[in-house]
Structure 1
Amino acid sequence: MIILAKLIVMGALGYLLQTRLRTLLAYFQQEEYDGARYVGALQSVRLYDVRASAAILIALVIMLMTGPSAVVMLILAATLGAIIWDEKRYRFKKPLAMTERARRIYLLAAAFLVLPFLISFYWLIFAIITIQLAPFALIAANQVLAPFQQRINDKYIVEAREKLARMDPQRIGITGSFGKTTVKHILAEILEGSAPVFYSRGSINTVLGLTRHIRQRLQWSHKYFIAEMGAYGEGSIKRLCDFAQPTLGIVTAVGDAHTERFGSIEAIARAKSELVEYVCSNNGTAIINVDVLRHEPFAKLKEQYGKQVISVGAQDADVIVNAQTAAGGGWTIGLHWVDGSHADASFDLPLLGDHNVMNAALAVVLTLHVDPALVDDLPFFTKTVSQIPHRLQKVENPGEPLILDDAYNANELGFKSAVATMHDLAKERGGRAILVTPGVAELGLEHDAVHARLAQTCNDFCDTIYVVNPSRIRSFADGLDKGQVNVIEVASFYEARAKIDADIQTKDVVLYENDLPDLLEEQRFL
């Protein structure tokens, strides 16, 4: 019996180290090793252990009442094995990347848990205590390692800054509430017509992210360096500028994305304007969406720096944009420089969504500012611009429904644009417009108002809507006209896909709009 009990404890240890601790580390990494945010996630995502702790507690109670039992222990062992097997089957939307930092945190956290776990050999109740302590062991390990990690980070940042200075490419910063990754990819592809371009893949937009890519990938042949710049608060963009030292900049938009993080749209505007301030104060040029001039920080910078700040928009801008839809959902776009400094330019864009008109216009204006000679070759580069994965990406196979994958992220403008695009394509194909969405994340106080407005748009453009996790977007679900739209409430994307597969037709268009809330706000049963 003692041997069996110890085997049970060893099984619990295997669960703790190989399953629970790694699962918790995946979420800790997702929260960027921020202890305060991680503590919030413990509650919101329900990362506290229930199943294993309950199984051990029930086994303890039974054995206290009836005495030691080999049958109870075997059932407990089987239960723990089933929990481990079930957790290993779980598909993370953002799987754990076992980097050197993650490995150090994992090993030190495991070491912290050794003592309470050893006690559980004598008092099984300590197995439950140890399992529940696991997330806090990760936080403690990260805190202990923080000075060591900071020295490593500082060393890598210095190396990257020195390498960037030695190779000295022309440096371009891109920021905005949304659209910056798309603009970066469009700009990189077009600018390749002038000279080799270095840019980070995906949404790498922090100092450490850029540092890693510079150290690993920047070459002497790169003549342009594009840095996407994300903001986690006022001062973030300034720190990125001090690191990358851009002489050119693009601001895509100022919107309500991440209002929850910043607190107000005014704070977002101040944060994004830091790029324009840095570039222009260093005799550079900033290309901005004319809409951002509605915000005081940008209006002041435009007044202060004049032609160093070039606005782009459909009207009342330095560069006027005209766009017409093309067959299949693309665009024919024209640009006119009001001051006559450049000849008019026109080009075709194969990307979906009217929001991509501005994204492409900003990229093209900067390209022609850098290398005006590219104007004649511009149509050859723009018509082959690649789709950006998960950003209104068109997934089409003969004889199958058309899938629009806009799952990476969402904001109100992009959401409305994607829904309108889905509607137009469904009408063109003669099928249904089917939307699958959990709404938009990180809206703060604007959450209900934004989702109410989105519901009104969807009433006009959708035939069927799968509302994922409707309890978090009640204003959206309640704002849908169920007499006009077929509304189906589901708990997850997986449930929505199963229902769609049973009802889909080849002419239909299905839009998967934003899985970020599902990633940030999903609730687990561990």
Structure 2
Amino acid sequence: MYLLLNTLWFIWMLKYVLFWLYLWQLKEYHIGRFFDHFRTHKGKKLLFSFEQILKLVLLGLFVMDSGLFNPLFFVTFLVYLGESLIFLRNVYLRNFKKPIKTSKTMFLALASLAVVILFFGKMSNIEDKLQPVWLLVFDILAPLIISIVVLIFQPFFVFARNNILRKASKKIKGFKGLTVIGITGSYGKTTTKEFLTTILSKKFKVAGTKKHQNSEIGIAKCILNDLNSQHQIFVVEMGAYKKGGIKLLADIVKPKIGIVTGVNEQHLALFGSLENLLSAEGGGELAESLPKDGALIVNGDNKYCLDLLMHSSNLPANQEKKYSTSNKTIDSDIWTEEITVKKDSISLVAVDKNKNLANFTANVLGGHNVLNLLGAILVANELGMNFEEISDACKNIKQEQAGMILNQGKLGIDIIDSSYSANPDGVYADLNYLSIFPNKKAIIMPCLIELGLKSAEIHQKIGKKIGEICGLAIVTSKDKFEDMKKGAMEAGMKEKNILLCDNPQEIFSAITSFCKSGDVVLLEGRIPSKVIKLLTNE
């Protein structure tokens, strides 16, 4: 019986190792992001779940030697039996959390499993009646133990990472004629990079970082694996979670042109202060890294980007450019005279300071992509492409490059899938796009994370926007649900139509009860994948 208990415990530990390595990888092995997760409702549930509390109680009763060893052993056995069967069922259904397979995660998994196996092997030397105690102790401490394994080996991975960075830096320095474009910001950088890469590819040999490949190791691997001497332009998306992060990337790739797509408070909690955020993803470090013959291109509709230009002294004024939707309030280098937003495309008439004018159409969703497209048009024009060439190249842009896809789901319900990630400006923009649909509208989204002290205020504003546009809102996480609910109700939404629910089947039932054929649902941010499968025809 003891051997069977140990075996069930070992099966459960396999699940634990995979899950906690998945979480570390999801947070990019960033200690601040990892610990910030435990400020959220989901993070607290991990540490204070019913199962964890039950195990703590069982451990306490075992230690107290209350004379209830046999019933306590039986309950412990049932707990591990149930957990193991659930895990094995999820493995069979391929419905469990595990890290993406890389050399790093494989090494960490083997190292963590070695600790588990070593402990498992020692159990045969422990007195039978003490075995349940030690199994519970290890189980309760497993998140800490696995995290210690990650942190112990992190210096070795940092050493390996720095070696890769040196190789990448050396390689890119050898391409003397290469023009590097660095793109940063709190939002819009991936889409702008995708648009710009597609447009420039019409005339030049272009390499670009892959979708959301914006960390130092991701950029370095792109240089080592994809960049070659035939490329004329390298478009680099640059992300960071601490001050100095963008400078590190700029020191590697040496951008000549910098683009700042828009700045907000999305990662304020990680940076610790607005000053630190503005230094990194706010574009300060990118602007300082540009050469004297370089160019800085910013979103003129964003106050932080305009402040960046005001305080930047690295470049002459004629090498600092702005793009905006209007030229009435600021002196832009390119702006729009006319914008048309349809369900499946955007069109705009763009004008520059030289009175050049052209119509541009891209098959992407949402009016917010007008600014992303304008930024790409301005940079392509600076690199020698005329408006006619750029307009023709825009026809090659695909819907998925903008990070939002429109599909018809089950029961004829339109599904707007913007589920990769979310930030405040992105949510507002997606809701504005949702508003052009004539029939009933619903949104499914989690609360946003890493917003710092402004989180409650931002969520209340999002709730108000939802209340103005949607008839039904389903929020999948609890953290700032009450703030969103308050904002939605202030805008006129009925209390019964803003729901807190993370159960995929219940979400599906609520949506199909509210919506009929021709209605539309916006999937915003990281919602459960099963919800997407239930609503779509995947």
Structure 2 CA distance, aligned partners of 1:232 and 1:516?
23
Asked whether the 8 Å contact 2:463–2:487 carries over to 1, the reply is yes
Q: Which residue identity is paired with 2:519?
A: D
What is the match of residue 163 of structure 1? 171
Structure 2 CA distance, aligned partners of 1:414 and 1:129?
44
What is the match of residue 351 of structure 2? 336
Q: Give yes or no for the alignment of 1:228 onto 2:237.
A: yes
What is the match of residue 536 of structure 2? none
Structure 2 CA distance, aligned partners of 1:261 and 1:38?
10
User: Residue 445 and residue 148 in structure 1: after superposition, are their counterparts in 2 closer, same or farther (change >3 A)?
Assistant: closer
User: Residue 171 and residue 389 in structure 1: after superposition, are their counterparts in 2 closer, same or farther (change >3 A)?
Assistant: closer
What is the match of residue 350 of structure 1? 363
What is the match of residue 322 of structure 2? 311
Structure 1 residue matching 2:316: 3-state secondary structure: helix
Task: Report the CA distance between 1:105 and its aligned residue.
Answer: 1.9
Task: Report the CA distance between 1:282 and its aligned residue.
Answer: 3.8
1:285 to 269, 286, 295: 295
Structure 2 CA distance, aligned partners of 1:398 and 1:471?
30
2:188 to 179, 188, 202: 179
Structure 2 CA distance, aligned partners of 1:491 and 1:84?
23
User: Residue 53 and residue 475 in structure 1: after superposition, are their counterparts in 2 closer, same or farther (change >3 A)?
Assistant: closer
What is the match of residue 321 of structure 1? 336
Asked whether the 8 Å contact 2:468–2:488 carries over to 1, the reply is no
Task: Report the CA distance between 1:216 and its aligned residue.
Answer: 2.1
What is the match of residue 51 of structure 2? 51
Structure 2 residue matching 1:345: 3-state secondary structure: strand
Q: Which residue identity is paired with 1:30?
A: L
Task: Report the CA distance between 1:474 and its aligned residue.
Answer: 1.4
Structure 1 residue matching 2:241: 3-state secondary structure: coil
Structure 1 CA distance, aligned partners of 2:283 and 2:71?
68
Stretch of structure 1 that moved more, 134-143 or 505-514: 134-143
Asked whether the 8 Å contact 2:261–2:372 carries over to 1, the reply is yes
Structure 2 residue matching 1:403: 3-state secondary structure: strand
Structure 2 residue matching 1:477: 3-state secondary structure: helix
Q: Give yes or no for the alignment of 1:394 onto 2:390.
A: no
1:250 to 233, 253, 259: 259
Matches within 5 A, 1:29-68: 29-35=25-31, 37-39=33-35, 41=37, 44=40, 45=43, 46-48=45-47, 51=51, 54=54, 65=68, 67=70
Q: Which residue identity is paired with 2:345?
A: G
2:8 to 6, 11, 36: 11
2:487 to 479, 498, 502: 479
Structure 1 CA distance, aligned partners of 2:401 and 2:509?
23
Q: Give yes or no for the alignment of 1:469 onto 2:477.
A: yes
Structure 2 CA distance, aligned partners of 1:5 and 1:82?
18
TM-score of the superposed pair, with normalisation by structure 2? 0.84
User: Residue 408 and residue 363 in structure 1: after superposition, are their counterparts in 2 closer, same or farther (change >3 A)?
Assistant: same
Task: Report the CA distance between 1:163 and its aligned residue.
Answer: 2.4
Stretch of structure 1 that moved more, 7-16 or 45-54: 45-54
What is the match of residue 138 of structure 2? 130
Structure 2 CA distance, aligned partners of 1:344 and 1:389?
25
Asked whether the 8 Å contact 1:19–1:87 carries over to 2, the reply is no
**Deviation per CA, 1:158-186, whole angstroms, max 9, x where unpaired?**
22222223345321100111000010111
TM-score of the superposed pair, with normalisation by structure 1? 0.86
User: Residue 280 and residue 308 in structure 1: after superposition, are their counterparts in 2 closer, same or farther (change >3 A)?
Assistant: farther
What is the match of residue 99 of structure 1? 102
| Number of residues of Structure 1 aligned to a counterpart in Structure 2 | 507
Structure 2 CA distance, aligned partners of 1:284 and 1:396?
45
1:380 to 392, 405, 413: 392
Give the CA RMSD over aligned residues: 3.3
What is the match of residue 522 of structure 1? none
What is the match of residue 210 of structure 1? 219
User: Residue 43 and residue 135 in structure 1: after superposition, are their counterparts in 2 closer, same or farther (change >3 A)?
Assistant: farther
Task: Report the CA distance between 1:434 and its aligned residue.
Answer: 1.4
Structure 1 CA distance, aligned partners of 2:312 and 2:367?
28
Structure 2 CA distance, aligned partners of 1:53 and 1:413?
39
Asked whether the 8 Å contact 1:41–1:47 carries over to 2, the reply is no
Asked whether the 8 Å contact 2:251–2:289 carries over to 1, the reply is no
User: Residue 95 and residue 182 in structure 1: after superposition, are their counterparts in 2 closer, same or farther (change >3 A)?
Assistant: farther
Structure 2 residue matching 1:435: 3-state secondary structure: strand
What is the match of residue 523 of structure 1? none
